[in-house]
Chains A and B, each alone.
Chain A
Amino acid sequence: MWKHVLLSLVFSFVFNVGTVEGAIYTDNFDSYSVGSLVGQGIWTGLGGPYGVNVTATTSSSSPNSITFTTNGGRIYAVQHFVAGNFQIDQSIKYTGTILPSTGVKPIVYSLASATSSLSGQDIVLCPDGRLNDRNGLSACSGGFFSTALSLNTWHVVSMNGIFDGVGYTVTVSLDGVEQWVNYATTTNGFGAVAIGTTNAQNVFVDNFVFRTEGDVPTPPPFDESTRIIDFNPQDGATTTSPVTFSLEAYVNENDIGTVSTIQITLENIDQNVLLLGFLSPSQIMLVDENIESGGFFNYSTTTVVLGDGNYRVEACIKRTFFGGLFGGFFESSLVNLFSDVSDCQSHQFVVGTSTFIGNISQNLWGDTNAFLEGLTATSSEALASTCNPLNLNFDIRQCIVFLTVPDANSLAEVIGLAREGILTRWPWGYGTRFIQILTNSPTSTLPVVVVPILTNTGNDTTLTFDFGDMVAGGGALLDSVSDPVYGKNVRDVFEPFIILFISLLVVIIIVNDLMRIGRDRDSKDIQNNKYH
């Protein structure tokens, strides 16, 4: 804890982490990556009454992403009307030259998402008519998708809008093709396309691609790695008690194993804990669940009543050797060299009123992490140049970090090489392989037995016994039986006792064995009269 604070203090005095600046207008007319908006702060949008927070809401697993955090927030892709050619900019808040335009042209867009969060959400897509840099609409009045967007699927979005400088109408349909005819602007006008949420909901957006008429493009690649997609409260948020903690994660099918866990831990970081840390537990485990199936996971803890102050919540998804045995001792104490599954993220937030020391701790932690993440995004060549006193990039602080802090990717690569080059050598390679088999996810299923039934009538038949189905059915049946008061099934009730019993049994066996160390030799020495 103190080591962390001291490290943070050092970094805070040394580094200044500013907001990301840069042009967001490009000439790419087809692809609209919302990642280009990251770091641009709060945008009020074009004509929209609400803003979209694109300051620090990226997901670490999808850096080209932002999260809608505001009720009614929208992302805008400005579309200019230039001599009959429709061009989609990677731009929002565009205030460039107003171009003359004539005519009425149809537009068809394709919309896709590489994330799950769009599923089940109502998304509004709205053309925004403008005239002479003035809103033609008091608010962007798009249509609402009544059908949820499907994961990793391209949806053809059709719009029909007529803007005559006085009135404006628009209809939007999902997967519609010819339900609209024209999208029009008048002279000296331009249109904009926006996507937004309709309610106060947290929508994770990875990539949008707008296109003009043409073939449906290939859907964006879906990140199939086991990872944490998002969790709440968001980093830097200020909330009130009681607080609800939620997490969305994705687990690849190949990583399914009964020893994979998702955990959320909470820690108070204000002065009360700093001063009285030895009297109170430093961390509270909010969620600690084994993963037994692949796909998307959404956890929402029960609402937790918290006093005012600064808090840090950490979400982790990882694979361990021994599941929940020994209260997770092995999860935190040992590095599992046989697993690549590990993703931990921290958020800091304030409940009610923050405290002075809590703010310092929170800010320094954030600065340090932002700095280290910044270094990760910087090339090795650029970092190396910070150590050259003759170079304009000379920076002794970055140089020290560059020299001493190992890069996470390089470290993982070296661990992989060590695993491959050392641990797999004869003869201990057999042990490594044996442990791999024991700890890896199961790849085999229970056998299916087919019994032929021969009859004299010629109507031969077969009976098939699928033990996998039987076990799955039995398990579902057992889990469905729950007590009438608390709604807990057999496993919920007895699992903690069995874990405790087996853990104690193992500890007793090991302690008993340790207590016998030297006893056998002493008895032999006594027999040999060695002590006389």
Chain B
Amino acid sequence: MLTMLIINVFVLFLGSIFIWLPQITTLPIILGFDIDGALVTGVGQFKTLATTFWPWLYVFYGLLVLLGYFSIKQVIKFFLGSRAP
């Protein structure tokens, strides 16, 4: 109960800070090009292909890991600025 209260308060606090920001459910349409639809279709077709050409799946996972790593680096740089290592 107390733990849940703390978690709830924390989530409520974070949520109330950002509540004024618009909610994003899909990627934008730029110059008439539906990025979200294109990605969903493309990734879906890639994964369908990867069920047969399975090595590509692990290449995909590897790229995801690298993407995560470099994203974290960019976030650290954003918050620490020139103090980032």
Contacts and interface: CB of A to CB of B under 8 A. Distances in A.
A503 B23 CA distance: 35
Contacts of A407: 4
Nearest to B14: A422
A422 B11 contact: yes
Interface in A405-452: 405-407, 410-411, 414, 417-418, 421-422, 424-427, 429-434, 437-439, 441-447
Contact of B69 (A258, A325, A472, A510): A510
Given A430-B24, A432-B24, A445-B44, A322 B1 contact: no
Contacts of A439: 64
B25 A433 contact: yes
19 contacts: A257-B47, A259-B61, A292-B51, A323-B58, A403-B3, A405-B3, A410-B4, A425-B18, A426-B21, A426-B24, A434-B39, A442-B48, A444-B45, A446-B45, A472-B51, A503-B62, A506-B66, A510-B69, A518-B85
Interface string B1-44: 11110011001001100110111111110000000100111011
A14 B51 CA distance: 52
Nearest to A405: B3
Contacts of B50: 258
A398 to B, nearest CB: 12
Q: Which 5 A-B pairs have the closest CB atoms?
A: A429-B24, A444-B44, A475-B52, A442-B44, A425-B21
Contact of A510 (B22, B26, B51, B66): B66
Interface residues of A, number: 63
Contacts, number: 142
A402 interface: yes
Interface residues of B, number: 46
A404 B64 contact: no
Interface of B: 1-4, 7-8, 11, 14-15, 18-19, 21-28, 36, 39-41, 43-45, 47-52, 54-55, 57-59, 61-62, 64-66, 69, 71, 73, 85
Most chain B CB atoms below 10 A, which of A427, A431, A471: A471
A506 B85 contact: no
Q: Is the interface of B mostly helix, strand, loop or mixed?
A: helix
Given A258-B47, A411-B4, A471-B48, A437 B23 contact: no
A228 B19 CA distance: 38
A479 to B, nearest CB: 9
A206 B47 CA distance: 36
Most chain B CB atoms below 10 A, which of A326, A432, A433, A491: A433
B23 A429 contact: yes
Contacts of A384: 1
Given A426-B22, A517-B85, A411 B7 contact: yes
Q: Is the interface of A mostly helix, strand, loop or mixed?
A: helix
A485 interface: no
Given A422-B11, A424-B23, A430-B24, 20 more contacts: A321-B61, A322-B64, A323-B58, A406-B7, A411-B4, A414-B8, A417-B11, A425-B21, A425-B24, A426-B23, A429-B25, A430-B28, A433-B24, A433-B26, A437-B40, A439-B64, A442-B44, A442-B45, A442-B47, A446-B45
Given A437-B36, A471-B48, A472-B52, A414 B4 contact: yes
A414 B41 contact: no
Contacts of A418: 11, 14-15
B31 to A, nearest CB: 17
A243 interface: no
Interface string A264-302: 000000000000000000000000000010000000000
B46 to A, nearest CB: 8
A292 to B, nearest CB: 6
Given A406-B7, A472-B52, A430 B27 contact: yes
Contacts of B25: 424, 429, 433
B3 A404 contact: yes
A498 interface: yes
Given A404-B3, A414-B7, A425-B23, A437 B39 contact: yes
A468 interface: yes
Contacts of A509: 66
A445 B8 contact: no
A107 interface: no
B55 A498 contact: yes
Contacts of A474: 52
Given A406-B7, A414-B8, A471-B51, A322 B39 contact: no
A322 B69 CA distance: 13
Interface in A457-515: 468, 471-472, 474-475, 478, 491, 494-495, 498-499, 502-503, 505-506, 509-510, 513
A434 B29 CA distance: 14
A433 B48 contact: no
A484 to B, nearest CB: 22
Contacts of A425: 18, 21-24
